[in-house]
Amino acid sequence: MRVSVCVFILLLIASGLKAEDGSGLWLRNNFASPVNVVGSHKSTIFNVAKQELLNNWQGKENATINLLVKKDKRIIGDGFLLSSDKIQANTDLGILYGVFELLRQQQTHQTVSEKVYNPSYELRLLNHWDNLNSSVERGYAGKSIFWRTGENGLVVTENDKRIWTEYARANASIGINGAAINNVNASPDILRPDRLERVKAIADILRTYGLKLYISINFSSPKIVGGLSDSDPLNPEVINWWKEKVKEIYTLIPDFGGFLVKANSEGQPGPQDYGRTHVDGANMLADAVKPYGGIIMWRAFVYSSEEDDRAKQAYAEFVPFDGQFRENVIVQVKNGPIDFQPREPFNPLFGAMKKTAIMPELQITQEYFGHSTHLVYLAPMWEEFFHSDTHQEGTGSTVARCTDGSIFKHRTAIAGVANTGTDTNWCGHHFAQANWYAYGRMAWNNQLTSDQIADEWIKLTFNPETNVRVALPEDWSVNFLKPIKQVMLESYEASVNYMMPLGFHHIFQASHHYGPGPWWERDGVRKDWTMPYYHNADTIGVGFNRTITGSNAVAQYHEPLKSIYGNLETCPEEFLLWFHHVPWNHKMKNGNTLWDEICYRYDSGVKQVRQFQVVWDKAQPYVDAGRFDAVQRRLRTHAHDAQIWKDACLLYFQEFSRKPIPFDIERPIHNLDEIKKNDMDRP
Ligand code: BDP
């Protein structure tokens, strides 16, 4: 044992790389040269900005940088103007963002040139699905960083404060300016005074880096916490209870952001319990927070088992209310119409509600992407989403432009479901940090490419040089940066291939959403929570008919999409089985039959992951041992489980297609009955 430790240390010294645990995220530079910072403004954030510059300056020694808070019409909100010797902004927070941008450019070896940087969205939030008992719903990186249990669980410790500060700083470095710190499946207890004290303590720390704090609320709180007879939004007692509660919160936290609400969704209470509507519920809360400048983020993630097609329900329920929500209500809509699936078309609500502020909700935590075990860089998916053309106001009405104020003039906001936890490296998988990073960067600028963001992130996270004024070593760029970036960029499509290619969706095993389970159904479980509901395989074909002869969900899309999606010949193949029930013999564009194409896609997904392993192993000389080993181990499980996905899906669907797996494809190596038995059960 001792000998191997010595050898390990010697190897580290020899390679010049120190052991890394990933705790420093993308903020790991430890070299700074002197700089003169000119400018002053009495505020914590301004001082934080100044200090960041002093601590991390990597430009010319003794250079002078001016920090200037001064209104300029070109600068919007917390945007800033950056040049090589000046950062100018309307607000102190703009100065802080400018500082982080300048440091990022230094650390990624860019030449700073004069440019204005404005945010795409006013509010850029993380949503934490953290429970008050410290567990995290769909969290794969340990426990909650906000909530602890035990006798002293509510006592704010120095360690809590340290973590919240690091968290706030990391968010500010990528432009995130808000966090909802408890699960949307909200415990009413969050509104009890002792919990609110802790919320205040968190808010006090997040504020130093410009983050506003939000909480998720349970719609039945007046009844459960307040002891009222009901929580009917039109009951004057209920209205008053919320007003008083809101007053209590703002007394503790004067800059409190507002509430996030999941109502009448998946069993959560809501206004419909009292025969009222989403508008009644949202507006009642909006009126309560309005005097303090608060907002209500009302989620449109609703569906019930009685309807014929889950994909249609949010649109059907919300579009009729367009124009009726208060100005401080924002309807929060998941990117796709079902639920963060590997690939979904955009949710047709985007662009369709023209008189309502609509905010996209993306999922950073990898609920449907192999948790924190698979290496999946999600930015390409989000890029595809932002660039999807809704055609709602003519060609070019992309989701980005429909939501960022370019087309509709409402409040603008975006939310990402966080992947952070108490794990040393914050996110479970070292590469999962890239998804947090990419979300923040895209929330700031929805036109950034996934390529550019991956490039930045790798340079910041794996830079072998502590002194960035030394040029990046050529061999590092060729042998690490380039191939690893390629892995990241391919990883999204690879996971679609081995999980759900060609428009397949929601064929996960049971409720952990990790492994495959297209067969999964149980007596007594509602139909839309079973998997055959989504794929409809039979001896003729497979897929969900959402055309006019089926559920007609295509009708929710604006022309020409309605026609394009609705026609088997013109429907993009990546959405084929989303919109159509397609015969196994259907001829694909490349001449393959549908069945063969399904087989090739699953197989190519597995091959891609095997290739990722090769690339990572080759990169070993350029990575510290700690992170190399952790990623290598996970890639093994990733490759193993991608194979299970392929075998499970091909063997299962073959029972319907009754066709051979093309002979140039490697045979499955698992038996279906064994996979079903093992279930790849995950917590
Ligand atoms: C689903 C998750 C569930 C969440 C729900 C939501 O499986 O845990 O509570 O979404 O967004 O994706 O409310």
From 185, 299, 513, 514, mutation site for ligand 1 pocket: most ligand atoms within 8 A of C-beta:
185
From 367, 506, 513, mutation site for ligand 1 pocket: most ligand atoms within 8 A of C-beta:
367
Query: Which one of 309, 339, 490, 596 is the catalytic residue?
Result: 339
Of all protein residues, whose CA lies closest to atom 10 belonging to ligand 1?
Answer: 339
pLDDT at 52: 97
| 0.95 surpassed by complex ipTM | yes
pLDDT at 511: 85
517-542 as b/e, with b when 16 or more CB fall inside 10 Å? Answer: bbbbeeeeeeebbbbebbbbbeeebb
Query: 562 is written with which tokens?
Result: 């309605």
Tell me if 119 sits within 8 A of 446, measured CB to CB. Answer: no
Domain boundaries, the chain: 31-117, 123-462, 498-544+581-678
Tell me if 98 sits within 8 A of 89, measured CB to CB. Answer: yes
pLDDT at 333: 98
Per the annotation, the verdict on 266 as an active-site residue is yes
Task: Tell which CATH classification among 3.20.20.80, 3.30.70.270, 3.30.450.20, 3.40.190.80 matches the domain 123-462.
Answer: 3.20.20.80
CA of 529 relative to ligand 1 center, distance in Å:
12
Residue 339 near ligand 1, beta carbon < 6 Å? yes
pLDDT at 683: 41
Q: Dihedrals φ, ψ of 438, to 5°?
A: -65, -40
Query: Which one of 367, 383, 493, 603 is the catalytic residue?
Result: 367
What is 31-117's CATH topology? Chitobiase; domain 2 (3.30.379)
* Residues of the chain scoring pLDDT < 70: 1-19, 465-469, 680-683
Could you give the CA distance from residue 226 to residue 483 in angstroms, rounded to a whole number?
58
Q: Which atom of ligand 1 lies at the shortest distance from residue 340's CA? A: 12
Express each pLDDT in 630-640 by its tens digit: 999 999 999 99
What is 498-544+581-678's CATH topology? Alpha-d-glucuronidase, C-terminal Domain (3.90.1330)
User: H/E/C letters for each residue in 608-676?
Assistant: HHHHHHHHHHHCHHHCCHHHHHHHHHHHHHHHHHHHHHHHHHHHHHHHHHCCCCCCCCCCCCCCHHHHH
Could you give the CA distance from residue 592 to residue 584 in angstroms, rounded to a whole number?
10
pLDDT at 285: 99
pLDDT at 467: 61
Tell me if 378 sits within 8 A of 369, measured CB to CB. Answer: yes
Query: Which one of 266, 308, 327, 655 is the catalytic residue?
Result: 266
H or E, element range at 44: helix 44-56
Could you give the CA distance from residue 138 to residue 676 in angstroms, rounded to a whole number?
23
Q: What pTM does this model have? A: 0.96
